[in-house]
């Protein structure tokens, strides 16, 4: 490396379009091929991160015209990739509750370089108006945080690399074309002119932590003879004449330095298949490899997310092997239904009900998060039965690690381009910026099987329509011409939709195309609106102020008083509205549970919080039961949002500390691949819907029981059922029972005869319960009983678990433990049915809030034994354990 003294490590995202191996993986690959002596060679081939040794300083806007004007004091150590906010957080100088307006000052990053010779600098993302200086000479200007830049430099000994991030003010005040509408969501509205994230600029939605700094890696390309510049990988399915599928992988590999193509042979290995590559010029290798009878990549709910490892083999006298990551093979298309108005996905020819949540960020401060944090979020989503995450237009394009984990976990990704709400400029400069941004993103993510939908942007058509503009005046060529053309060129295997929502007479109509459904939620509609609205696909839905567990409220907020300003600061609200999402939740608390929220909050705040958690869990389960039932028009739904960006009762299903909320547990009861759900059909009684999304049939026993006083059996039935692969079937509870019984208490011939109906599906082979559903004809929560609840703590190897059992039906079991979270929580428990609940040890709340780890780790001998309580909505009192 000609004496370059910076300590560099391979980038987790690698060169463009491929994940670079870690140093250990690279060393192992070459050691396996040619012995340990080649390990050091392999590690120098990938671009290397300039991630340590940086310092940053903030100055008033325009105070320093060049690095020569920089102050000598006020510098902070800075990690790259990172942001000004993350540097301040690391130094203990960031108040997340009251962050400064960082986007309106100037900020400088500096790094000392030592070395000689030509190098190529790669800057993957600079937020947002940025300059790159080398030894006091400006070498590059950037006006988009979503594009990467290459810069060829010459090192002649010592050099200083400086990055300047200028105030947004000049860009926001520059004259551009007049907007036809101005959304209230974003402040200031002239952000339409700047290619930056809306995170930090949406009052009422998220903290005002504004994105400033080198938020993506800064790399120096290797100077080794075989150094990689970029690797472009794509894969697709081809059907053979015999009906079997072949997987075809195509690779274009560009090197930093020219090669003698006659002396250097190369091949690509995918799984067990190997094919030679060809030199198209001295810098570029191209070719493809075919995998016969390839296994398909599936979302985890429908099969195995099979991935094939890719290996490059080079031989110019001494053979070396280089891991190029992995690929999956799948086909995907949009099914519009018989009437042409629907919207659903078919993967590998099979209909897939897409369910999940809208992604925010694993860490708002860094805009990235660690791999551990990402894995934690993906694990919670997968275990809850989700199979899709949506990265919305108000967020950022995620890292390669995010999409690689989606591949690994079998999680589909709906990806908006980073466009939302605005009437965007249509001048040549803006179009050129979008062209570069979209092309780079699609090239970088071309290899990932999990990328399932591409969407022009979020709520752009909706904003225009709600301002009263007719279709002819609200169309933007950006979404109808430019972006679909780029997608067709770069990722023809991924469907594109112009906007979310879109498709109906109004873009936000629920019964056609893609919608954002908040009928149950912000619009406070009754539960029967879910069926009446005939939702086809909800790319957003069900926003509530979801209350975190007590541990989060106490540790993160220091209070559970609901009128504390810190509580209300975290409750989301739409700008200009006279209500917030606490009010939305309280509406359902009153209409479903029959309590007066204000009085209960005053008289018994703990009960108020538990019922608030329970009612959201119930709503989540009931709405998705309706959408997943046999005969539903719905092809998928994504909850708004997956994770909170600050502690408190935010929209997130997971709180800002990484702990799942009741809403996530409620969803987990309705989203599993093998599922039973119950729908209330009024005078027709109850319907039981049995779903099997797996590729294997299931023979099972369906047990139906109705209980009075939570324990007395007043009606029961049982029958064998066979669930075909990828199927849903409907059974009438009345047909199962064979005689009249008022399951829904609709006829009201006297007092209600039962409290709960339970449908249990047992695997015939093992006798294990594989799915269960519950229906309560009366949801009010006024009655509380001695349930005969018992709880015991047990060791399970190195871990702990609870054994819970009750004499009467338990409504919403909730486990409270300072040091552990329950793997299963907020669930109903039938009487005399012992239930084992694993406990997962939690790291300290401080580590959670600092976002320094995933927050989950194995308990050790020094960690406290479980000690807590088990509560229930219908229990007289909590049961303590430990």
Percent of the chain with pLDDT over 90: 81
Residues 92 and 216 in one domain: yes
Output the DSSP codes for 644-706.
-SSSSS-S-SB-TTS-B-HHHHHHHTT--SEEEEEEE-GGG-EEEEEEE-SSS-EEEEEEEEE
Tell whether the model's pLDDT for residue 10 goes beyond 50. no
Residues 213 and 263 in one domain: no
Strand order in the sheet with 319-327: 273-276, 265-270, 308-315, 319-327
Percent of the chain with pLDDT over 70: 92
**What's the mean pLDDT when you consider all of the chain?**
91
- Mean pLDDT throughout 498-523? 95
Tell whether the model's pLDDT for residue 29 goes beyond 60. no
3-state secondary structure 762-798: EECCCCCEEEEEEECCCCCCCCCECCCCEEEEEEECC
Q: Which of 10-14, 437-441, 715-719 has the lowest mean pLDDT?
A: 10-14
| Residue 431 included in any domain | yes
Nearest in space to 417 (alpha carbons), one of 321, 519, 490, 513: 490
Confidence of residue 843 (pLDDT cuts 50, 70, 90): low
* Structure confidence at residue 862 (pLDDT): 61
Contacting residues for 87 by C-beta, under 8 A, at least 6 apart: 56, 76, 77, 78, 79, 213
Read off the pLDDT of residues 515-564 as tens digits, 9 standing for 90 and up.
999 999 999 999 999 999 999 999 999 999 999 998 888 876 665 567 77
Residues 540 and 597 in one domain: yes
Local structure of residue 556 (DSSP, 8 states): I
Write out the two tokens for 542: 């069900």
CATH of the domain at 72: 2.60.120.260
Read off the pLDDT of residues 568-595 as tens digits, 9 standing for 90 and up.
888 999 887 889 999 999 999 999 999 9
| Residue 16 included in any domain | no
Confidence of residue 12 (pLDDT cuts 50, 70, 90): very low
* Structure confidence at residue 557 (pLDDT): 67
CATH of the domain at 812: 2.60.40
Last residue of a domain, one of 610, 631, 660: 660
CATH of the domain at 435: 3.20.20.80
Residues 555 and 678 in one domain: no
Please state, as a whole number, how many other Cβ atoms lie within 10 Å of the Cβ of residue 621.
Answer: 24
Confidence of residue 113 (pLDDT cuts 50, 70, 90): very high
H or E element at residue 312: strand 308-315
Nearest in space to 655 (alpha carbons), one of 842, 807, 506, 476: 842
Please state, as a whole number, how many other Cβ atoms lie within 10 Å of the Cβ of residue 470.
Answer: 9
Distances (CA, A) of 233 to 29, 65, 108, 444, 490: 19, 42, 36, 9, 11
First to last CA, the chain: 60
Residues 303 and 448 in one domain: no
| Residue 424 included in any domain | yes
Last residue of a domain, one of 632, 660, 688: 660
Write out the two tokens for 805: 């059992």
Confidence of residue 97 (pLDDT cuts 50, 70, 90): confident
CATH of the domain at 688: 2.60.40.10
Write out the two tokens for 525: 């509609």
Residues 412 and 547 in one domain: yes
Residues 106 and 165 in one domain: yes
Residues 252 and 144 in one domain: no
Count of domains forming the chain: 5
- Mean pLDDT throughout 732-753? 93
Residues 323 and 412 in one domain: no
| Residue 14 included in any domain | no
Write out the two tokens for 363: 């860490």
Confidence of residue 854 (pLDDT cuts 50, 70, 90): very low
Residues 876 and 744 in one domain: no
| Residue 22 included in any domain | no
- Mean pLDDT throughout 84-106? 95
Q: Which of 163-172, 374-383, 551-560 has the lowest mean pLDDT?
A: 551-560
| Residue 338 included in any domain | no
* Structure confidence at residue 161 (pLDDT): 98
Residues 205 and 284 in one domain: no
Write out the two tokens for 709: 């006083």
Read off the pLDDT of residues 826-838 as tens digits, 9 standing for 90 and up.
999 999 999 999 9
Tell whether the model's pLDDT for residue 28 goes beyond 50. no
- Mean pLDDT throughout 73-89? 97
SS3 480: helix
Distance between CA atoms of 881 and 288, rounded to whole angstroms?
A: 61
Last residue of a domain, one of 775, 799, 818: 775
Name the residue range of residue 855's domain: 790-881
Tell whether the model's pLDDT for residue 243 goes beyond 90. no
* Structure confidence at residue 563 (pLDDT): 72
| Residue 450 included in any domain | yes
Q: Which of 104-118, 750-764, 856-870 has the lowest mean pLDDT?
A: 856-870
Tell whether the model's pLDDT for residue 497 goes beyond 50. yes
Residue predicted with more confidence, 237 or 262: 237
* Structure confidence at residue 706 (pLDDT): 98
- Mean pLDDT throughout 509-516? 96
| Residue 684 included in any domain | yes
Residues 642 and 683 in one domain: no
Read off the pLDDT of residues 276-298 as tens digits, 9 standing for 90 and up.
999 999 999 999 999 999 999 99
CA dihedral 643, 646, 651, 652 (to 10 degrees): 20
Against a cut of 0.75, is the pTM above it? yes
* Structure confidence at residue 14 (pLDDT): 38
Nearest in space to 113 (alpha carbons), one of 72, 156, 71: 156
Tell whether the model's pLDDT for residue 11 goes beyond 60. no
């Amino acid at each position: 490396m000609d004496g370059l003294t910076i300590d560099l490590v391979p980038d987790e995202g690698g060169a463009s379009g491929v994940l670079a191996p870690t140093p250990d993986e690279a060393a192992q690959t070459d050691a396996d091929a040619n012995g340990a002596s080649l390990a050091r060679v392999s590690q120098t081939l990938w671009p290397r991160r300039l991630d340590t040794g940086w310092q940053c300083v903030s100055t008033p806007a325009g105070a320093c015209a060049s690095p020569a004007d920089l102050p000598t004091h006020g510098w902070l150590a800075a990690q790259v990739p990172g942001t000004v906010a993350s540097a301040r957080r690391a130094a203990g100088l960031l108040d997340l509750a009251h962050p400064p307006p960082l986007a309106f000052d100037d900020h400088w990053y500096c790094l000392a370089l030592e070395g000689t010779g030509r190098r190529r600098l790669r800057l993957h993302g600079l937020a947002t108006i940025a300059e790159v200086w080398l030894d006091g000479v400006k070498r590059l200007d950037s006006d988009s945080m979503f594009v990467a830049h290459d810069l060829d430099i010459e090192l002649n000994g010592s050099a200083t690399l400086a990055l300047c991030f200028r105030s947004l003010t000049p860009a926001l005040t520059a004259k551009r074309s007049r907007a036809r509408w101005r959304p209230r969501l974003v402040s200031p509205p002239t952000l339409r002119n700047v290619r930056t994230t809306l995170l930090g600029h949406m009052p009422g939605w998220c903290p005002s932590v504004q994105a400033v700094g080198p938020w993506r890696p800064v790399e120096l390309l290797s100077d080794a003879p075989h150094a990689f510049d970029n690797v472009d990988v794509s894969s697709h399915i081809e059907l053979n004449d015999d009906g079997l599928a072949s997987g075809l992988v195509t690779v274009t590999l560009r090197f930093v330095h020219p090669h003698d193509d006659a002396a250097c042979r190369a091949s690509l290995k995918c799984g067990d298949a190997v094919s030679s590559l060809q030199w198209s010029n001295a810098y570029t290798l191209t070719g493809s490899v075919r995998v016969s009878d390839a296994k398909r990549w599936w979302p985890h709910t429908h099969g195995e997310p099979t991935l094939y490892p890719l290996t490059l083999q080079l031989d110019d006298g001494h053979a070396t092997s280089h891991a190029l990551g992995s690929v999956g093979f799948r086909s995907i298309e949009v099914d519009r239904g018989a009437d042409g108005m629907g919207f659903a996905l078919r993967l590998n020819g099979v209909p897939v009900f897409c369910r999940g949540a809208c992604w925010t960020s694993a860490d708002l401060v860094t805009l990235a998060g660690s791999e551990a944090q990402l894995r934690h979020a993906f694990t919670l989503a997968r275990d809850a039965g989700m199979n899709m995450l949506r990265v919305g237009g108000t967020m950022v394009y995620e890292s390669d690690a995010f999409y690689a984990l989606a591949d690994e976990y079998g999680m589909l990704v709906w990806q908006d381009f980073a466009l939302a709400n605005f009437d965007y400029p249509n001048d040549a400069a803006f179009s050129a910026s979008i062209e570069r941004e979209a092309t780079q993103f699609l090239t970088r993510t071309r290899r990932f099987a999990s990328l399932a939908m591409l969407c022009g942007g979020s709520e752009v058509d909706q904003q225009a329509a709600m301002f009263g503009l007719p279709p002819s005046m609200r169309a933007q060529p950006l979404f109808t011409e430019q972006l679909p053309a780029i997608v067709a060129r770069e990722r023809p295997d991924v469907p594109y939709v112009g906007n979310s929502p879109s498709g109906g007479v109004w873009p936000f109509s629920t019964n056609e195309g893609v919608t954002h459904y908040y009928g149950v939620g912000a619009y406070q509609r009754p539960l029967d609106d879910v069926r009446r609205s005939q939702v086809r696909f909800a790319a957003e839905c069900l926003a509530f102020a979801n209350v975190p567990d007590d541990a989060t409220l106490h540790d993160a907020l220091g209070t559970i008083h609901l009128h504390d300003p810190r509580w209300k600061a975290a409750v989301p609200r739409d700008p200009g509205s006279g209500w917030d999402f606490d009010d939305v939740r309280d509406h359902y608390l009153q209409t479903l549970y029959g309590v007066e929220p204000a009085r209960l909050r005053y008289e018994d705040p703990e009960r108020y919080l538990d019922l608030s958690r329970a009612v959201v869990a119930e709503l989540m389960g009931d709405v998705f039961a309706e959408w997943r039932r046999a005969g539903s028009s719905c092809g998928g739904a994504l909850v708004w949002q997956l994770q909170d960006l600050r502690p408190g009762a935010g929209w997130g299903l997971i709180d800002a500390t990484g702990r799942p909320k009741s809403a996530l547990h409620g969803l987990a009861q309705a989203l599993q691949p093998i599922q039973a759900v119950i729908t209330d059909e009024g005078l027709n009684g109850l319907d039981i819907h049995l779903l099997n999304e797996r590729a294997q049939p299931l023979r099972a026993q369906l047990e139906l029981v109705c209980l009075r006083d939570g324990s007395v059996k007043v009606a029961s039935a049982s029958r064998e059922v066979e669930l075909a692969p990828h199927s849903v079937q409907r059974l009438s509870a009345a047909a199962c029972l064979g005689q009249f019984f008022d399951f829904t208490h609709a006829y009201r011939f006297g007092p209600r005869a039962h409290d709960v109906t339970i449908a249990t599906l047992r695997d015939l082979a093992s006798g294990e319960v594989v799915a269960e559903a519950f229906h309560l004809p009366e949801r009010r929560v006024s009655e509380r009983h001695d349930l005969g609840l018992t709880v015991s703590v047990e060791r399970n190897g190195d871990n702990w678990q609870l054994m819970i059992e009750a004499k009467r039906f338990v409504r919403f079991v909730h486990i409270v433990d300072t040091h552990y979270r329950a793997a299963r929580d907020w669930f109903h428990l039938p009487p005399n049915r012992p239930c084992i609940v694993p406990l997962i040890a939690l790291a300290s709340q401080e580590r959670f809030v600092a976002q320094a780890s995933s927050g989950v780790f194995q308990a050790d001998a020094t960690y406290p034994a479980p000690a807590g309580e088990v509560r229930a909505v219908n229990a007289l009192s909590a049961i303590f354990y430990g």
